[in-house]
Amino acid sequence: MSWTFENYDRLLAALGEHIVMVASALALSLAIALPLGIWSARRPRIYAATITLTGILYTVPALALFALLIPVMGLGTGPAVVALVLYSLLILVRNVAAGLRAVPPEVIDAADGMGFAPARRLLRVELPLAMPVIVAGIRIALVMQISVATVAAYISAGGLGDIIFQGITQDFNEKIIAGAVLTSLLAVVADETLRLLERRLRPPAGLTDAG
Amino acid sequence: MLAETLRWPGEHQRVLLEATLRHLELSLAALSVAVVVALPLGIALTRAPGAAGFVTGIANVLRTIPSLALLVLMLPLLGTGYLPAMVALTVYGVPAILLNTYAGVRSVDADIVDAARGQGLSDRQIIRRIEIPLALPVMFAGIRTAAVQIVAAATLAAFVGGGGLGELITAGMGTLDFPELLVGALAVAALAAATELLFAGLERGIAGRRRAS
Amino acid sequence: MIRLEGVTKRYPGVSRPAVDHLDLDIPEGTICVLIGPSGCGKTTSMRMVNRLIEPTAGRILVAGEDVSGTDPVRLRRTIGYVIQQVGLFPHMSVAENVATVPALLGWPKPRIAARVEEMLTLVGLEPREFLRRFPGELSGGQRQRVGVARALAADPPVMLMDEPFGAVDPIVRERLQSEFLAILRRLRKTIILVTHDIDEAIRMGDRLALMKDGLLMQYDTPDRILATPRDAFVAEFLGIDRGLKRLALVTAGEAAGPSPAPAGSPRIASVTTLRDALSILLTEGADAAAVVDADGASLGSLTLGAIRHRLAARADQSGAG
């Protein structure tokens, strides 16, 4: 354990790189997925096309996607973030659309009846009600991104994966364990935090009259 | 470079074939063990409500752990090679199957199970003839998820010396042999897509055979 | 045939027992209806007979044998079981569903097939049409019929029915009740039927066991309970029109007198209940009606006075319904 204690600053730096990579990827993918999800929510054909396209991307395993991006974008954080964004699109678009579609038609009808303009209705009624499902999507995407970002170290993107790979090449177990455990902890904490948020966002049982 | 990439498979048939077979072998082995472990466990948990909360909690945490982390954590324990890769991939696949099996069996209509008990079916008969057939779609969805995840994660087996198509990628990176790198990546992508399609087809087949609503 | 002796069920952490020292003696070939408000313990009591619930105290005897002495799974194969939601196995055909217990008992296939057809015919479902259908394709009434066929398939002497007609609409329910009453009587089964519907209880039961808070309040024939409710609770449960309910147990043919009715009187069939006859007489403004049999032949007349006399009669003089 001695290495860990002596080099915790390096570990923290790697953790920081990891978080920055993932956070920027998440922000970017939300920026794309949110409008895309809203747009395709009630347009079945567009939805199907979007899901198919993003689904194809999602099927490609992480290391392979990185490899395919190398001739196009080289190495480093850039291609890593691009890959992370491409991966997250399927999950986020799907959950945004699903969340919006799950809003009971009576609620939308009531909102229209009360005089909500569509844009405002979206903002004040539909999105808030769709939140739990959207947050669930963010949670899944985030955990996946943390995992993929670990592999991104292989194309020199930094992050906790870097510590792991150093440990492998140097045959230094402690680095491997420190990197792997820290990544796992990051993933678990992110998952739990968002689960809590998800639960808070669900309307208390009894306010919805479905089942 | 495109031309070189297209020529590569033809010139390196044996390497490509070996890596593909190894990749499939690893994935299949891990999936099989995961199914053999997780399916009965998931069913057993429905009869043990106390343990169920605990075990599903662990499964949920396990599901969150990055695949690379699982693989490399085997290194200090099991060294390099086939075994650590297989163990890691098995552990990786268990949660999806376990959680889906548990949820699927629990979701079988309680009235149906009550009627079955009332007719005089033993617990084992209820599991075999009622709960498993009715929970099959959900259970299979879990197996499908695990299969796809395992095939994808098997790419990383290269990092623990487990072989597979990931090795083409790492070898290509090491020697800056772009054709090899790209062929490896495309082959992995194709394999993953094929797995997804295969299991989607199987799932549809299962749904089609259940005529009852 | 079925005896409950001091049967009690206590749940941990709950002060009042769900079933409190229940004593019931149900003769062979009769239908005993357990009835009462929600939470009275009727369903719990029924489920203790086939040991889906185990009693905390007391014992239950079926055909003279203590049920706790038999393996529960084997016991249940000798007792027919019908529940409100039916619980047909959705992934099995109607034929496979009905064949459940015979198959469990290891009957030879030809015998099972013949029995399945027999049962479907018995419950009014044309075998050729329904054998290969699936529960999801059936209506509520059809599902109920299959459920009863399944329960009868192995020819159990005893049957437990928990709100068997609760999940179908009222029109279908009445038809099912009459049909099954006829079937069950013909087969001379001993039956415990649980319901919260007093009219169903009166129609179907040879004896009613009225329960409240786990206790047996009164156990008697419908006519006697309606005529002499033991206390205010029973009276209230039976409803303020219990007198009229009693009239529904007697037919015009039974109460008709020999003298002919005055000309211009309404004519009623002999199978008309006194309750309906009363309604007709009041609506028509008549004091008497001519009673005729199925062929139209006159059987005499029924007067308002006779009806009133019937109501006033002591229960054991007017006979069981």
Q: How many helices (H) and strands (E) does chain A have?
A: 10, 0
CA geometry: angle C130, C134, C135, nearest 5 deg: 100
Burial (CB count <10 Å: 0-12, 13-18, 19+), residue C20 = buried
Would an 8 Å CB–CB cutoff place B73 in contact with chain A? yes
Among C73, C75, C87, whose Cβ lies nearest the Cβ of B114?
A: C87
- Residue A151 pLDDT exceeds 50: yes
The percentage of residues in chain C with a pLDDT greater than 70, rounded to a whole number, is 98
Dihedral of the CA atoms B84, B89, B91, B92 (nearest 10)? 140
Q: What is the pLDDT of residue C48?
A: 94
The residue of chain B with its CA nearest to that of A64 is B185
Closest CA to C305 of C240, C257, C263: C257
Q: B70, B8 in Cβ contact below 8 A? A: no
Contacting partners of chain C (3+ CB pairs under 8 A): B
Which distant-in-sequence residues (6+ apart) come within 8 Å of B60 by Cβ? A191, B95, B99
The residue of chain C with its CA nearest to that of B124 is C73
Q: Which two tokens stand for residue A50?
A: 């979007």
Please report residues of C whose CB lies closer than 8 A to that of B212. Answer: 90-92, 134-136
Q: Which of residues 144-173 of B touch A (CB under 8 A)?
A: 148, 151-153, 155-156, 158-159, 166, 169, 172-173
Q: pLDDT tier at A211 (50, 70, 90 boundaries)?
A: very low
Q: How far is B186 from chain C (nearest CA, A)?
A: 42
Beta bridge partners of A211: none
Q: What is the pLDDT of residue B213?
A: 40
Per DSSP bridges, beta strands C158-162 and C79-82 are: parallel
Report the range of poorest mean pLDDT among B38-52, C147-161, C307-321.
C307-321
Handedness of CA C235, C240, C244, C248 (dihedral sign): negative
Handedness of CA B180, B184, B190, B191 (dihedral sign): positive
- Residue A205 pLDDT exceeds 60: no
CB contact under 8 A, C90 and B134: yes
Among A63, A146, A177, whose Cβ lies nearest the Cβ of B76?
A: A177
Closest CA to B102 of B19, B22, B43, B174: B43
- Residue A206 pLDDT exceeds 50: no
Per DSSP bridges, beta strands C267-269 and C215-220 are: unpaired
Give CA–CA dist C299/C301, Å, rounded: 7
Give CA–CA dist C49/C158, Å, rounded: 10
Task: Give the residue from B65, B80, B160, B182 with the most A CB atoms within 10 Å of its CB, the best one to mutate.
Answer: B65
Would an 8 Å CB–CB cutoff place B62 in contact with chain A? no
The pLDDT tens digits for B46-101 are: 999 889 999 999 999 999 999 999 999 999 899 899 999 999 999 999 999 999 99
Q: pLDDT tier at C58 (50, 70, 90 boundaries)?
A: very high
- Residues of A near B (Cβ–Cβ under 8 Å) read 56, 59-65, 67-68, 70-71, 143, 146-147, 150-151, 154, 161, 164-165, 167-168, 173, 176-177, 179-181, 183-184, 187-188, 191
Q: C1, C62 in Cβ contact below 8 A? A: yes
H or E stretch covering C20 = strand C19-26
Q: How far is A67 from chain B (nearest CA, A)?
A: 6
- Neighbouring C-beta atoms of residue A87, cutoff 10 Å: 23
Q: What is the pLDDT of residue A209?
A: 42
Among A60, A147, A176, whose Cβ lies nearest the Cβ of B66?
A: A147
Please report residues of B whose CB lies closer than 8 A to that of A143. Answer: 64
Q: pLDDT tier at C59 (50, 70, 90 boundaries)?
A: very high
Would an 8 Å CB–CB cutoff place B213 in contact with chain C? yes
Give CA–CA dist C220/C228, Å, rounded: 10
Among A68, A154, A187, whose Cβ lies nearest the Cβ of B185?
A: A68
Give CA–CA dist C218/C237, Å, rounded: 12
Pairs of residues, one from chain A and one from chain B, whose beta carbons lie less than 8 Å apart: 109
Residue B168: phi and psi, rounded to 5, are -65, -40
Give CA–CA dist B9/C266, Å, rounded: 100
The pLDDT tens digits for C67-96 are: 999 898 889 999 999 988 888 888 889 999
| CA-to-CA separations, C104 to A195, B85, C122, in angstroms, rounded | 46, 46, 22
Q: A172, A128 in Cβ contact below 8 A? A: no
Q: A51, A90 in Cβ contact below 8 A? A: yes
Please report residues of B whose CB lies closer than 8 A to that of A150. Answer: 66, 68-69
Among B72, B169, B182, whose Cβ lies nearest the Cβ of A63?
A: B169
Q: Could you give the ipTM of this predicted complex? A: 0.84
Residue C239: phi and psi, rounded to 5, are 100, 155
CB contact under 8 A, C100 and B212: no
Contacting partners of chain A (3+ CB pairs under 8 A): B
Closest CA to C195 of C171, C162, C217: C162
- Delineate the domains of chain B, giving CATH numbers in brackets: 16-212 (1.10.3720.10)
Please report residues of B whose CB lies closer than 8 A to that of C100. Answer: 119, 121
Q: How far is C182 from chain B (nearest CA, A)?
A: 23
The residue of chain B with its CA nearest to that of A160 is B69
Contacting partners of chain B (3+ CB pairs under 8 A): A, C
Q: pLDDT tier at A6 (50, 70, 90 boundaries)?
A: confident
Residue C248: phi and psi, rounded to 5, are -70, -10
Instruction: For residues A161-177, give the mean pLDDT.
Output: 90
Q: Which CATH architecture group holds A2-201? A: Orthogonal Bundle (1.10)
| CA-to-CA separations, C231 to A91, A203, B130, C225, in angstroms, rounded | 66, 48, 47, 10
The pLDDT tens digits for C204-236 are: 999 999 999 999 999 999 989 998 899 999 999
The pLDDT tens digits for A14-67 are: 999 999 999 999 999 999 999 999 988 888 888 888 888 888 888 889 888 888
Q: Which two tokens stand for residue A30?
A: 């939300």
The residue of chain B with its CA nearest to that of C79 is B119
Burial (CB count <10 Å: 0-12, 13-18, 19+), residue C171 = exposed
Positions of chain B with pLDDT under 50: 212-213
Counting every residue, how long is chain B? 213
Instruction: Please provide the average confidence, as pLDDT, over all residues in chain C.
Output: 89
pTM score of the predicted model: 0.81
Closest CA to B101 of B56, B69, B66, B152: B56
Would an 8 Å CB–CB cutoff place B109 in contact with chain C? yes
Q: What is the pLDDT of residue C319?
A: 43
